[in-house]
């Protein structure tokens, strides 16, 4: 039967500047650009962020297509490395300003609410090399300058801002497990330091936004991966509690409550790896919490007590938990992540019960598919019924939570047009709209037509 969503519900999709725009007109390189240029050309099959989906040129047409598939909202990011000419002063680059202003205008013209995010894994490489990136308080202040410039330039036209996308992925992928640049492994202490500094950077950007007196709202986008224990044992419960505190609450709590989870702080202090934040820094975090929350959800974490807690030489979160593959789990055969729609309901209840029922939206959810070409039909369109089923299932759980009082105002898929991925270039496709990398032509998939119906009805059928 028909499940109707609240009035004004956001139906849309998310993407990011570095994964879509291409390098045209950019003044600096970010860490992912550098990674691709220097060492990953083979791995990425020569398909990179240099051209990506060419959004820098295609956005006028892309917004028309987004409108055509019923999107009323769209999130992308302002690239630090495009907007800012002088990274030390935060001075804007006129070419960057011009691009973003026109992009914002085109979104508006097509009736699309634009949400602008400030950081999507795209630290300027110069700042990593010179100062250590997020390990540096100076870089935190440079980020604030960039944020301030963005608010000044676009704050009259954009009403919804977010400071970071999935900040946990920065230390996790870059310093703990080595799957994003700078690809370090086992650097637990540094990772914790980075968590502290990014929380501070987010709070400082929020303060800059409030000081700018613009008439909008600012939030943060977190990847929340609920940690489900393998058994009822005390040990597995402790592992799940730790994984939840470290990977979810170390950003969720400061962002909404203005403080870090107490038990986690105690543990990190005891282990001698606590973040380095002064009283003043903590005050900044306490006083600058978010207006709203975005949640990216793809898959849960299945955890248990670690069998080999000392496998790393340095301090690592792996001392307290390990992941395992849940035998009953349903795996996406085309990407390899567990599909577990009920976690959306669990996340919603957690936000409702433990975070003051703050208003929030699903800012990413999606199903990556390798080799999606095999689903192309004679008329040229991709029949992605698996994706439609995936969304319907997740939305049913979200709907149930909303019925029970969850303050959720929207659902954004990853993503609108197929885009470049940090891990697999264009191998895994996610879009409502297919992109042909040969000539950059676009073609609406069946899921795009599904979204149009859902958005028109404000309901899933």
Residues that bind ligand BGP (CB under 6 A): 16, 19, 165-166, 223, 296, 364, 368, 414, 421-424, 428
Which is nearest to 129 in space by CA: 200, 19, 198, 28?
A: 28
Which H helix or E strand runs over 20?
Answer: helix 17-20
Q: Using alpha carbons only, give the angle 125, 221, 88 rounded to the nearest 5 degrees.
A: 30
Does the annotation count 364 as an active-site position? Answer: yes
Helices 137-154 and 94-109, axial angle in degrees (round to 10): 50
Helices 385-403 and 446-457, axial angle in degrees (round to 10): 20
Closer CB to ligand BGP, residue 424 or residue 440? 424
Closer CB to ligand BGP, residue 54 or residue 141? 54
**Which conformational region is residue 178 in: left (phi greater than 0), alpha (psi within -120 to 50 degrees), or beta?**
left
**136 is written with which tokens?**
């540096």
Closer CB to ligand BGP, residue 248 or residue 352? 248
Closer CB to ligand BGP, residue 72 or residue 162? 162
Closer CB to ligand BGP, residue 121 or residue 151? 121
Does the annotation count 95 as an active-site position? Answer: no
Burial code (b: 16+ CB inside 10 Å, e: under 16) for 216-252 equals bebbbbbbbbbbbbbeeeeebbebbbbbbbbbbbbbb
Backbone angles phi, psi at 417, to 5 degrees: -95, 140
- For residue 424, the minimal CB distance to ligand BGP (Å) is 6
- For residue 191, the minimal CB distance to ligand BGP (Å) is 17
- For residue 362, the minimal CB distance to ligand BGP (Å) is 13
| Active-site hit among 166, 193, 230, 372 | 166
Closer CB to ligand BGP, residue 93 or residue 172? 172
- For residue 22, the minimal CB distance to ligand BGP (Å) is 16
227 contact partners, CB below 8 Å, separation of at least 6: 239, 240, 241, 243, 244, 247, 248, 300, 301, 302, 303, 321
Backbone angles phi, psi at 173, to 5 degrees: -85, -30
What dihedral do alpha carbons 216, 218, 223, 229 form, nearest 10°? -110
**351 is written with which tokens?**
């936000």
- For residue 299, the minimal CB distance to ligand BGP (Å) is 10
- For residue 284, the minimal CB distance to ligand BGP (Å) is 26
| Active-site hit among 29, 172, 364, 372 | 364
Q: What does the alpha-carbon distance between residue 440 and residue 461 come to, in Å, rounded to a whole number? A: 33
Q: What does the alpha-carbon distance between residue 177 and residue 169 come to, in Å, rounded to a whole number? A: 10
- For residue 414, the minimal CB distance to ligand BGP (Å) is 5
Closer CB to ligand BGP, residue 368 or residue 431? 368
**277 is written with which tokens?**
């934040």
- The residue at minimum Cβ distance from ligand BGP is 421
Checking DSSP bridges between strand 360-364 and strand 338-339, what pairing results, if any? unpaired
What is the DSSP track for 149-165?
HHHHHHTTT--EEEEEE
Active site residues: 166, 364
């Amino acid at each position: 039967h028909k499940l109707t969503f609240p009035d004004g519900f956001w139906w849309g999709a998310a993407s990011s500047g570095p994964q879509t725009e291409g390098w045209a007109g950019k003044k600096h390189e970010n860490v992912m650009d550098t990674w691709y240029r220097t060492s990953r050309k083979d791995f990425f099959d020569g398909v990179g962020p240099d051209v990506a989906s060419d959004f820098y040129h295609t956005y006028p047409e892309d917004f028309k297509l987004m409108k055509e598939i019923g999107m009323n909202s769209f999130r992308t990011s302002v690239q630090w490395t495009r907007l800012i000419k002088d990274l030390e002063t935060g001075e804007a680059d006129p070419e960057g300003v011009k691009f973003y202003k026109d992009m914002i205008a085109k979104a508006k013209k097509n009736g699309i609410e634009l949400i602008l995010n400030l950081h999507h894994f795209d630290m300027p490489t110069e700042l990593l090399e010179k100062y250590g990136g997020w390990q540096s308080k100076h870089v935190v202040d440079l980020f604030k300058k960039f944020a301030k410039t963005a608010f000044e330039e676009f704050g009259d036209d954009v009403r919804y801002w977010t400071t970071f996308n999935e900040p946990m992925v920065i230390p996790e992928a870059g310093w703990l497990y080595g799957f994003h640049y700078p690809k370090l492994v086992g650097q637990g202490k540094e990772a914790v330091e980075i968590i502290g500094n990014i929380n501070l950077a987010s709070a400082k950007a929020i303060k800059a936004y409030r000081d700018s007196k613009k008439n909008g709202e600012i939030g943060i986008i977190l990847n929340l991966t609920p940690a489900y224990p393998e058994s009822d044992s005390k040990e597995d419960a402790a592992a799940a509690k730790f994984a939840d505190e470290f990977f979810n609450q170390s950003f969720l709590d400061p962002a909404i409550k203005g403080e870090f989870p107490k038990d986690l702080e105690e543990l990190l202090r005891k282990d001698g790896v606590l973040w380095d934040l002064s009283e003043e820094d903590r005050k900044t975090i306490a006083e600058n919490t978010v207006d709203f929350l975005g949640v990216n959800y793809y898959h849960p974490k299945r955890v248990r007590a670690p069998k080999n807690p000392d496998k790393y030489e340095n301090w690592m979160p792996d001392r307290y938990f390990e992941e395992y593959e849940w035998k009953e789990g349903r795996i996406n055969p085309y990407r390899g992540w567990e599909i577990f729609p009920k976690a959306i309901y669990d996340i919603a209840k957690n936000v409702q019960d433990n975070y003051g029922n703050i208003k929030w939206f699903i800012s990413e959810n999606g199903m990556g598919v390798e080799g999606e070409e095999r689903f192309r039909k004679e008329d040229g369109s991709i029949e992605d019924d698996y994706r439609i089923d995936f969304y319907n299932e997740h939305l049913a759980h979200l709907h149930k939570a909303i019925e029970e009082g969850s303050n959720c105002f929207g659902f954004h898929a990853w993503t609108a047009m197929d885009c470049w991925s940090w891990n697999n270039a264009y191998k895994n496709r996610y879009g409502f709209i297919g992109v042909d990398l040969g000539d950059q032509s676009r073609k609406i998939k069946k899921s795009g037509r599904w979204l149009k119906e859902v958005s028109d009805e404000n309901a899933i059928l």
